[in-house]
Structure 1
């Protein structure tokens, strides 16, 4: 089968859906399993999202009409919400709690929603905006990039950022609790 970036991205969406389904099946006692699944999700999601933001979305935006530009803006906003709010909230919850289960459920639902919108709207538009050869080249470029040191550094940086935001959020909520108790 010929290479196609849209198929690769869709396959990664499906893999993420499966991982979130597995995470949903865990119990509060499955701390190690939850941590391992979250790690696997982030190792798949972060390079996927960063490459879309840095390569695919800008290329799409250059060729898009008004509807495409709106789709592009929605996709970026969803990426930023997950990166700046959802992932740090997941990291601020203890994996052995119902709070973690609830937050990861919302995380999975947002990823599923975003993936469906991409697949049904953006990818449909992209099939018309990019030739089969261009989609094949994007797919090759993505494969090379994912194996690069740059990709690995971005994954590590995003994980550090999420943990830092989680710690700040946790400290802020602790301050609020302490202030309310006085």
Structure 2
């Protein structure tokens, strides 16, 4: 199979990036809700914030369990991975604050918006630096890893759905 065909196949990076796009859209929806005066906006914001937090928690976990360790073994420059893990820790702290919040107030909105800004920064680094390095690493089978990430993500989403039901 020619290399050009392989490169266009969905790989681990494209799966992770699909998550990025989905969550970015959710953050935009949240920002629109912050402008609403409707009484129902508060519950919609709470529900959307919970959904964002679930998506990000699962995304971070599959990166930390599968993608980052494989990439750490395959590339020399691991500073980028160290930074990504610190960014995950900051995001997890904000996620916990959002999930534990009893009121959907201005502070709640601020936390969700700042989380969105953290994630934007994180995504830019992954897209601009980490994904190109992963795709250039000959030791990584990103097509196979995509399947691993996908299966683990499905398991975690099912677990989290069961925990909130």
Instruction: Give the alignment's TM-score, normalised by structure 2.
Output: 0.82
- Give unpaired runs (5+ residues) of structure 1: 160-182
The structure having more radius of gyration, on CA atoms, is 1
Counterparts in 2 of 1:130 and 1:11: CA distance versus 1, 3 Å? farther
Aligned to 2:124: 116
Q: Give the Cα–Cα distance (whole angstroms) in 2 for the partners of residues 104 and 40 of structure 1.
A: 12
Rounded to whole Å, the distance in 1 between the matches of 2:102 and 2:113 is: 14
Q: What is the CA-CA distance between 1:34 and the residue it aligns to?
A: 0.6
1:46 aligns with 2:30: no
Q: Which residue of 2 is the match for residue 2 of structure 1?
A: 9
Contact 2:98 2:108 in 1 (8 A): yes
Alignment match, 2:3: none
Report how many aligned residue pairs link the two structures.
153
- Give me the CA root mean square deviation: 2.4
Whether the 8 Å CA contact 2:11–2:145 is kept in 1: the answer is yes
TM-superposition CA deviations, 1:24-68 (whole Å, max 9, x none): 111374111111111221222111110100110000001111xx2
Cα distance, 1:16 vs structure 2: 0.7
Partner of 2:145: 138
Q: 1:78 aligns with which of 73, 87, 97?
A: 87
- Verify: 1:89 aligned to 2:100, yes or no: no
For structure 2, list consecutive stretches of 5 or more residues without a partner in the other structure.
1-7
CA displacement at 1:8 relative to structure 2:
1.1
Tell me what 1:168 maps to.
none
